Amino acid sequence: MKNVFAIKVWTPPRILALGYAICILLGTFLLMLPVAHQGGEGLSFLNAFFTATSATCVTGLVVVDTGTFFSTFGQVVIMCLIQIGGLGFMTIATLFALVFGRRISLRERLVLQEAMNQGDMEGIVRLIKKVIYYSFAIELIAAFLFTLRLMADFPLGQAMYYGAFHAVSLFNNAGFDLFGHYSSFTRYVSDPAFNIISMALIVLGGLGFVVLSDLIEYRKHRKLSIHSKAVLWMTSILLVGGFVLVFIFEFTNLKTIGSLSWDGKIWGSLFQSVTTRTAGANTLDLTQLRQATLFLTIILMFIGGSPGSTAGGVKTTTILLIVGAVISMVKGKEDVVLFYFRINKDRIYKALTITVFSLSLVIVATMVLTMTEATDFMSVLFEATSAFGTVGLSLGLTPNLSTTGKLVICLLMFAGRVGMITLVWALAPKQDKELYRYPEGKIMIG
């Protein structure tokens, strides 16, 4: 019997999965403390576990209202879990190691490589330093801008606190808010300043730190990597396409943007498209959206953000590679070519594997939830996709979930944050390399 404490057993994927699990359990116990709640209300272990999972996995689905149920202590715990989950617990651990002057070991570099979805370890610590610097700089600037805007609605102290919380929440694509009564940002649907700050945070957090680094250093090097080009191109298509379709679908819907001014229609449609980068905040009443808009939102939530970012989903580049493979097949070409570069077939296989695993998990979870929850199919599918994509958008089902439903949603959030490939590698036994190949067989397709 293998020793479970042996060093070889703790591969980078297993360390990542275990690290997130430990953060969730620690957050659960902190949120169960009486000091974490307002008015002396208690919080059950399951609800605390659900909240900690949602925060650590930067999702934003809630079973109790964050702004009215939790005390300042509880809200700060949630904010810290969001920061750890968004940047990655290994990034935070590396920050402390750098502060105290400790050397980063080879094993830690391997885990960082897995966490940041990098192909090799070269420059991984330098990248982590950039992640920390960029993240805190963006959050500080956004907190300041939020404070200036919120001073018109709240006292200075509260405006500063709200500004800091929502800057962390939005940049990490978490979707938690403090405005109370599950209202999210609906009061600011037509507010240009609030929308611009919020959407900028969501997009910057969802692009990925490698892309941010490329953009910031563009003036110096005058070039972008193929990864950054793919991310920017795909993100632009999804944002613009989502905006146009939401605008068309909801234009005459008086319960969403139909009753708003032209400015309100534009801001509302644009924010609804941007928030599907897995941010989870909303300025429109989601329960009043038309079925076409809800289905579009489900598709965009499943795709999510980009690799190496604070966002979830199967990722923009995954879908781009699959679409590229389909186009190449239709054109009768052997290679998948993007931006004049040939893409290795291993990348295509990985993209297909991630998509199939992810789709299968959402389908199975949806089937289970249809049996355990007394609601319509669209609400169940929407909630399941939102959880897996670590989005946090909800049609109101989450607070009313059964015990089984909460556990299923927690599993989806965990799988969405850790990543399907990482999770499979963490759970699967180590496979020895095959020393032989089977003869080729042919199966008819289509």
| Residue 442 included in any domain | no
For 325-356, write each residue's pLDDT tens digit.
999 989 888 888 888 889 888 889 889 988 99
pLDDT at 96 over 90: no
Q: Tens of pLDDT along 318-328?
A: 999 999 999 99
Alpha-carbon torsion 403, 407, 408, 409, what sign? positive
pLDDT digits (tens, 9 = 90+) for 365-420: 999 999 999 899 999 999 999 999 999 899 989 999 999 999 999 999 998 888 76
The structural domain count of the chain equals: 1
pLDDT of residue 7: 45
Lowest mean pLDDT among 94-108, 229-243, 246-260: 94-108
Q: What is the pLDDT of residue 201?
A: 94
pLDDT in tens, 143-152: 999 999 999 9
Burial environment of residue 125 by CB neighbours within 10 A (0 to 12, 13 to 18, 19 or more): middle
Question: Distance from first CA to last CA of the chain, Å, rounded?
Answer: 46
* CA atoms within 13 Å, Cβ hemisphere of 306: 26
Integer CA distances (angstroms), 184 to 46, 189, 283, in order: 23, 10, 7
Q: Look at residue 312 in the predicted model and tell me its pLDDT.
A: 84
- Residue 441 placed within a domain: no
Interatomic CA distance for residues 28 and 18, integer angstroms: 15
Structure tokens at 44: 């059950």
Quick one: how far is CA 240 from the chain centroid? Answer: 20
CB 211 within 8 A of CB 176: no
* Residue 166 in domain: yes
Structure-token pair, residue 254 = 């008086």
Burial bucket for residue 132 (CB in 10 Å: 0-12, 13-18, 19+): middle
Q: Which positions ≥6 away from 73 have C-beta within 8 Å?
A: 33, 35, 36
| Domain assignment of residue 432, yes or no | no
Distance (Å, rounded) from C-alpha 31 to C-alpha 287?
A: 29
Residue 252 belongs to what domain range? 9-426
The letter for the amino acid at 61 is L
SS3 337: strand
User: Distance between CA atoms of 316 and 305, rounded to whole angstroms?
Assistant: 6
What are the start-end ranges of the H helices in 121-217? 124-150, 156-171, 192-207, 209-216
- Which pLDDT does position 267 carry in this prediction? 96
